[in-house]
Amino acid sequence: MGLLDGKTALVTGVANKDSIAWAATRSLLDHGARVALTYQNERLESRVRALAAECDPPLPCFQMDATIEEDVTRAFEAIGKEFGGRLDMVVHSIAFARKEDLAGGIVETSADGFKLAQEVSTYTLISLMRGALPLMQAAGGGSAVTLSYLGGERVVPNYNVMGLCKASLESAMRYLAWDLGKHNVRVNAVSAGPVKTLAARGISGFSGMLDYVAQKAPLGRNVTQEEVGNACLFLLSPLSSGITGEVLYVDAGYHIMGM
C-alpha cells in the first residue's frame, strides 16, 4: 500500500524536468497518488504533455491560466470530472516577474511590473484554492503546498520584486490556512534553497548564489529538486496532518545562519 493510494493531486507550474513541480509530481506518483498537471497556454502545452506522456499511465493535462477566473472555473470542472468529483492535494508552483524588474534596484520597479508579479506569484494561490475547495470538501478535506524562498523574509540581492511576492505569498498561505481550516483543508509552504531551474536562470548572479549557500549552509551543499519534492510530499500527505500555516525550510540549513 502506498502512502497516497486513492488520493488525487493537481500540480501546477511544471516547465521541464528540472522544475521543482516535476520533482513533486514524481514524489506523489511514487507514493501512489493520481496526478493531473496544468499548463498556462498553448506555448507551454507540448512541453507539459511530453512529460506527462512519460508516465505510466500518462497524466491528464488541463489548460489553466490561474490569473483568469474563467480558466480556473473551467479547469476545475474538468479536473473534477477526471477525479470523480474530488481532489485531495494541490501544488502551487506559479511565479513570474519581468526580467527588467529583477534587475537594478527595487526602487526602479515599475507599477505594472509590480502588479503583474504579485498577481501571478501570489494571487494565483488564492484563485487555485478557491477553485479546489469544493472538490476538497467533497473529499472530506485536503492539503496544499506552495513554493517560497528566503528572499521573502530577508534581502537577497537581485531577487528584488520576487522577494516582495514571496513575502505576500507566505502571508496569503497563512490566511488561507486560517480560512480553510474549518473545511479540514491545510495550506503550507516549502521555502527551498536555490535550485537550478528555468525560473532561477532569470536571477542575476544565480551561480554565485549557489556557491555562497553551499559554502555557508550547515550541510555544506545545496539541495536538490528531489529533496524539495519530497518535502512537498510530506506536507501534502497524512504524515503532516497536524500542520498548517507553516513554512518548511529545505535549504541545507542555510536560513539558520547569521554569518
Position 209 scores a pLDDT of 83
Query: Is residue 139 one of the residues assigned to a domain?
Result: yes
Query: Is residue 122 one of the residues assigned to a domain?
Result: yes
Which one-letter DSSP state was computed for residue 194?
P
Bridge partners of residue 190, in order along the sequence: 147, 248
Query: Is residue 209 one of the residues assigned to a domain?
Result: yes
Query: Is residue 155 one of the residues assigned to a domain?
Result: yes
Number of domains, the chain: 1
Catalytic position from the list 159, 175, 212, 254:
159
Position 9 scores a pLDDT of 98
HSE-CB at 52 with a 13 A cutoff on CA atoms is 23
> CA–CA distance from 81 to each of 57, 61, 76 (Å)?
18, 13, 8
Active site residue 212: no
pLDDT, tens digit, 9 for 90 and up, residues 125-151? 999 999 999 999 999 999 999 999 999
Q: What's the one-letter identity of residue 189?
A: A
Which residues have a Cβ under 8 Å from the Cβ of 232 and sit 6 or more positions away?
20, 23, 24, 27, 91, 145, 147, 190
Catalytic position from the list 149, 175, 212, 254:
149
Coil/strand/helix, residue 80: helix
Query: Is residue 2 one of the residues assigned to a domain?
Result: no
Query: Is residue 3 one of the residues assigned to a domain?
Result: no
Active site residue 149: yes
Position 202 scores a pLDDT of 59
Q: pTM to 2 decimals?
A: 0.94
**Residue whose grid cell is 549552509:** 217
Which one-letter DSSP state was computed for residue 104?
S
pLDDT, tens digit, 9 for 90 and up, residues 96-132? 999 888 888 899 999 999 999 999 999 999 999 999 9
**Residue whose grid cell is 514524481:** 26
Query: Is residue 259 one of the residues assigned to a domain?
Result: no
Position 130 scores a pLDDT of 98
Residue range(s) defining the domain that contains residue 172:
8-253
Q: 22 with 16: CB under 8 angstroms?
A: yes
Mean pLDDT by 10 residues, the chain (259 residues): 94 95 98 97 94 97 97 98 98 94 89 97 98 98 98 92 97 98 98 80 72 94 96 98 98 94
Q: From CA 156, how far away is CA 143, in angstroms rounded?
A: 30
Position 207 scores a pLDDT of 77
Could you tell me which of 25, 37, 28, 33 has the C-alpha nearest to residue 8?
Answer: 33
CATH number at residue 78: 3.40.50.720
Q: 60 with 33: CB under 8 angstroms?
A: no
